[in-house]
Amino acid sequence: MTTTTRDTLLTAADLERRAALRRMKLLATALLVVAAVVFAVAFGLQDQYPWLGYVRAAAEGAMVGALADWFAVTALFRHPLGLRIPHTAIIPTRKDEIGVSLGEFVEQNFLSDEVVRSKLATFSVADRLGEWLADPKNAERASAEGAVVAQGVLRFLSDSDVERLIERLARTHLFDREWAPTIGRVGAELVAADQQRAVVDALVEAAETWLSEHPDALGEVVSTRLPRWVPGFAKGLADERAHKELIGVLRAVRDNPEHPLRLAIDGYLVDLTERLQHDPAMGERVEEFKESLLESERMRSFAARVWEAVKATLTSALADPASELRVGAASALVDVGVRLSADRGLSAKIDAWIADAAGYAVQKYRHDLASVISETVQRWDARETTQKIELQVGRDLQFIRINGTVVGAIAGLAIYAIATGVHAVVG
């Protein structure tokens, strides 16, 4: 047994509906056939048995009712008997109009600010969200789902686009402004707060440690400048003495906050920050340095290196359930849930914000949302649309045929009985 293309589009539920529809069609048609047989028998024998006139009238009414309702039901989906009678095959011929009407109905009756707000007023979104997030398992699940979404976003993003964005932001916020005044102001504030002393201490300590670990670091810096007649051992002693004196100076600077060298450095920094803020020549030199950085190849690859490092770090952290990022996100969600559940004022504010946001979205985009219905219906194939709708409501429509048969029989019998009674009285 072959399966048609249209059949392959049906789901298991659709196939069950189709079988039920066929059974109901068979039942309704069987009632019509029974009514026709009864009518034929009664019509042929009513002269011999006058009481069969009532049976004939009932069967006749049943046939009329059954045929009329069969025509009405069939006309919804197709042309009865293939005859192109006006106002038949309503669904396939007026599919687009039905879609527009359905969209307008949804827009007017469902996508309104009053409906949305009244629905949201029946429950608290913040309370439900808080209760759900307060459970660590749910918070961990939300964190995991968020990590999956974030990983998808990272894969979706174009590296070249992100690198260009980073470079553009760096140019806008770092290079488009003059550096000298900003550096000068920040430097002046740091010097005024004595923040430079920590830097000087670190530099002095590093220099002292390095010289102590490298006693030959000065080499023959002093001895090579002594006269030739000075003996060689004296030159060596001079180099050694210079090394020790330099270490002594560094230790003195480290231990004495008021050492003259420290004060000299402080004075130089004060003068430098002042010149950076007010000296045009110094500002021009800083700008030249900035331009050289901007045009260097290293600076051009800066954005690529930054994004590569950030992306690798994020990808690794998002993929690892035990990473600080994932664990921290889950913990933060639990805290949010607990606070939402405990703080009635906060949950009320969030509910009001959600209601306002939903109301605004509905008011602004209600037509666009409703148009999705009409546009979707317009894209549907007419035959497939008809088949889908018939499978959904066709079984119930067959009851109309059955009811029409029964009601027609009652109506025919009643009309015949009344007419016979009136005729007997008049006659």
> With bands split at pLDDT 50, 70 and 90, how would you rate the model's confidence at 62?
very high
Instruction: Report the chain's C-alpha Rg in angstroms.
Output: 46
Nearest to 394 by CA among 27, 25, 78: 25
**pLDDT of the residue at 367:** 84
Mean pLDDT of the chain: 82
Rounded mean pLDDT, 257-276 = 84
Which amino acid, one-letter code, is at 16?
E
d(CA 117, CA 122): 9
- Tell me what pLDDT residue 3 has: 45
Q: What does the pLDDT average to over 395-399?
A: 88
| H or E stretch covering 230 | none
Least confident of 3-12, 134-143, 191-200: 3-12
Query: Residue 153: left if φ>0, alpha if ψ -120 to 50, beta else—which one?
Result: alpha
Distance CA 385, CA 399 (A): 22
Q: Stretch 197-205: mean pLDDT, rounded?
A: 81
**Residue range 279-326, pLDDT digits in tens:** 888 878 877 777 776 666 666 677 677 778 888 888 888 888 888 888
Q: Does the model's pTM come out above 0.95? A: no
Q: Taking a C-beta distance cutoff of 8 angstroms, is the pair 104, 370 a contact?
A: yes
Q: Could you tell me the pLDDT band of residue 55, with boundaries at 50, 70 and 90?
A: very high
Which two structure tokens, joined as six digits, stand for 379?
Answer: 């894209």
Residues in the chain: 427
Which amino acid is it at 6? R
Question: According to the model, what pLDDT value does residue 5 have?
Answer: 46
The pLDDT value given to residue 311: 84
pLDDT at 2: 43
As a whole number of angstroms, the distance between CA 268 and CA 98 comes to 84
Token pair belonging to 104: 């307008």
The top-scoring range by mean pLDDT among 199-208, 272-281, 381-390, 393-402 is 393-402
- Domain ranges in the chain are 11-93+380-426, 177-296
* Predicted pLDDT at 96: 83
HSE of 393, CA atoms in CB hemisphere, 13 A: 10
What separation in angstroms does the CA of 195 have from each of 190, 191, 202, 261? 5, 6, 12, 16
328-350: average pLDDT: 89
At residue 225, φ and ψ (nearest 5 deg) are -100, 0
Q: Residue 66 carries which side chain, given as an amino acid letter?
A: A
Q: Tell me the helix, strand and coil percentages in the chain, rounded to 5.
A: 85, 0, 15
- The secondary structure of residue 50, as a DSSP letter, is T
How many other β-carbons are positioned within 10 Å of the β-carbon of residue 371? 16
Q: State the pLDDT at residue 427.
A: 61
- The pLDDT assigned to 370 comes to 82
- Written as six digits, the tokens of 25 are 């069609």
DSSP assignment of 272-340, as one string?
Answer: HHHHHHH-HHHHHHHHHHHHHHHHSHHHHTHHHHHHHHHHHHHHHHHH-TTSHHHHHHHHHHHHHHHHH
Q: Which amino acid is at 310?
A: V
Task: Give per-residue pLDDT as tens, 75-107.
Answer: 988 888 888 888 888 888 888 888 888 888 888
